[in-house]
Amino acid sequence: MNTMDNLTNTLFAGCRIIKKIGQGGMGTVYTARHETLDKVFCIKLLSSELARDQRNIDFFLREARSAAKLDHPNIVQVSNFGQENGFYFIVMSYVEGKTLSELVTEKGRLALEEATGIIIGVLEGLAHAHSKGIIHRDIKPSNILIGLDGVPRIVDFGLARSISDDKQLTMAGETVGTAYFMSPEQGLAGTVDNRSDLYCAGATYFYILTGRFPFDGRNSIEVIHKHISDPFPNIQLINPDVPLGVSHILEKAMRKKPENRYQSARELIDDLKKCGDTGGQQRSALEKSFDIPEITAYMRVPLPPPRAASLEKTDPSRADLSARAATGPRQSSRPAAAGKIKIQPVVIYTSVKILVHCALALAATGCFVISGASGKVAGSLRSPFLANPVTAGFFAVLGAALFVFTIATKPLKFTLQHAFLLAIAAAAAYAGGAYIPAPETADTLTKAFLALKISLMNAIFSSNTLIYALFLYLTASKIMFRENWILKTAAIAAYVLSLFLTYTYFAGGLALAPEKIYMEAAGALTLVGVIAGLTVTRFYLFFNPPFFFLAAHIMLFAMFTNPIVSTITDEKTQAFTLRASQEHSMAMERYHRMALAAENEQQYDVEGRPLDTKLPPPPEETKPPERQEFYNAAKAQYYTQIRLNIRHNLADSAGIIFIAFFLMLMADACFLEEMLTAYRMRD
Q: What is the rounded end-to-end Cα distance, in angstroms, of the chain?
A: 54
CA distance 15 to 180: 36
Report whether 464 contacts 458 (CB < 8 A): yes
With DSSP H G I counted as helix, E B as strand and the rest as coil, what are the percentages for the chain, rounded to 5? 55, 10, 35
CA distance 444 to 8: 90
* Residues pairing with 500 in the sheet: none
- Of 580, 586, 491, nearest to 529 by C-alpha is 491
CA distance 625 to 156: 86
CA distance 658 to 27: 67
Is residue 265 exposed (0-12), middle (13-18) or buried (19+ Cβ within 10 Å)?
A: buried
Q: Which of 138, 197, 315, 668 is catalytic?
A: 138
CA distance 75 to 129: 9
Helix (DSSP H) and strand (DSSP E) numbers for the chain: 21, 11
Which helix (H) or strand (E) element contains residue 92? Answer: strand 87-93
CA distance 246 to 111: 13
Report whether 637 contacts 375 (CB < 8 A): no
Q: How many other C-beta atoms are found inside a 10 Å radius of the C-beta of residue 520?
A: 12
Backbone angle region of 156, left / alpha / beta, with phi > 0 → left and psi within -120 to 50 → alpha? left
216 catalytic, yes or no? Answer: no
Report whether 282 contacts 276 (CB < 8 A): yes
Backbone angle region of 350, left / alpha / beta, with phi > 0 → left and psi within -120 to 50 → alpha? alpha
Report whether 683 contacts 486 (CB < 8 A): no
Residues 625, 629, 631, 634: is their CA dihedral positive or negative? negative
The three-state secondary structure class of 28 is: strand
CA distance 553 to 664: 24
Q: How many other C-beta atoms are found inside a 10 Å radius of the C-beta of residue 253?
A: 25
- Of 462, 464, 125, nearest to 269 by C-alpha is 125
Which helix (H) or strand (E) element contains residue 587? Answer: helix 545-600
Report whether 501 contacts 475 (CB < 8 A): no
Report whether 22 contacts 322 (CB < 8 A): yes
DSSP-derived letter for residue 270 is H
Report whether 170 contacts 67 (CB < 8 A): no
Alpha helices in 373-464, H assignment, sequence order: 383-387, 389-408, 416-434, 444-457
Report whether 549 contacts 473 (CB < 8 A): yes
Which helix (H) or strand (E) element contains residue 23? Answer: strand 15-24
Which helix (H) or strand (E) element contains residue 122? Answer: helix 112-131
Q: What residues are labeled active site? A: 138
